[in-house]
Chains A and B, each alone.
Chain A
Amino acid sequence: SQQGEEDPQALSIQEGENATMNCSYKTSINNLQWYRQNSGRGLVHLILIRSNEREKHSGRLRVTLDTSKKSSSLLITASRAADTASYFCATDAGDKIIFGKGTRLHILP
């Protein structure tokens, strides 16, 4: 069963702009994770935010979590061509994590 749902499904922006992706989920969580998948590759873990955290940074990435709204956002600042990929949120369900269907991000030159 799918827990997280990303929005939008696809996003195209100019290089240098900021990209924001959102994730909504249904049940309470202990943590939420974001992953990146380049075409033809496996998923790469970007960041994990725990339920008692509201914001987390990693380089050009900023993740927020609002447990009252059951939502999270991933902001990529100063986008680059190499950021073109699919981005997935994943929420914990016991020992495992469940992935959403992802946001396809395309950075235009």
Chain B
Amino acid sequence: DAGVIQSPRHEVTEMGQEVTLRCKPISGHDYLFWYRQTMMRGLELLIYFNNNVPIDDSGMPEDRFSAKMPNASFSTLKIQPSEPRDSAVYFCASSFGANYGYTFGSGTRLTVV
């Protein structure tokens, strides 16, 4: 397996634009997690899915953020409209659950100018 695949690796966008981040989890993993990492706040869990169903989105900062998982092999995190304070590294991870290790993707470094 190629691991968790995220795209794009880097994204620079202007304030107000829509941004879509993509993730392909490891086949067979039934949990998918979206994290955001900043120097100030560390790693924050934004939302997670179990069997493609969103379970907990309490970490999503605002209505500008949305996430979908239309099937077991694909998820998106969308920010609309984007703001400079959304600049961070966004990670996707997949797992068999909290009693197992997570496999992280390489992340998307988002810069909103």
Contact = CB atoms under 8 A, between A and B. Distances in A.
A97 B42 contact: no
B43 A30 contact: no
B100 A99 contact: no
A43 B100 CA distance: 14
Most chain A CB neighbours (cut-off 10 Å) among B33, B93, B98, B102: B98
Nearest to B9: A40
A33 B99 CA distance: 9
B88 interface: no
Contacts of A109: none
Interface string A31-52: 1010100000111110010100
By size class, the interface of chain A is 20 to 34
B55 A45 contact: no
Contact of A95 (B50, B93, B105): B50
A42 B25 CA distance: 14
Given A42-B105, A42-B107, A43-B102, A99 B42 contact: yes
Interface of B: 4, 31, 33, 35, 42-43, 45, 48, 50, 55-56, 91, 93, 97-107
19 contacts: A35-B102, A42-B93, A42-B104, A42-B107, A43-B91, A43-B102, A44-B104, A45-B102, A45-B103, A48-B100, A50-B99, A88-B43, A95-B31, A96-B33, A96-B98, A97-B98, A98-B45, A99-B43, A100-B42
Interface of A: 2, 30-31, 33, 35, 41-45, 48, 50, 88, 92-102
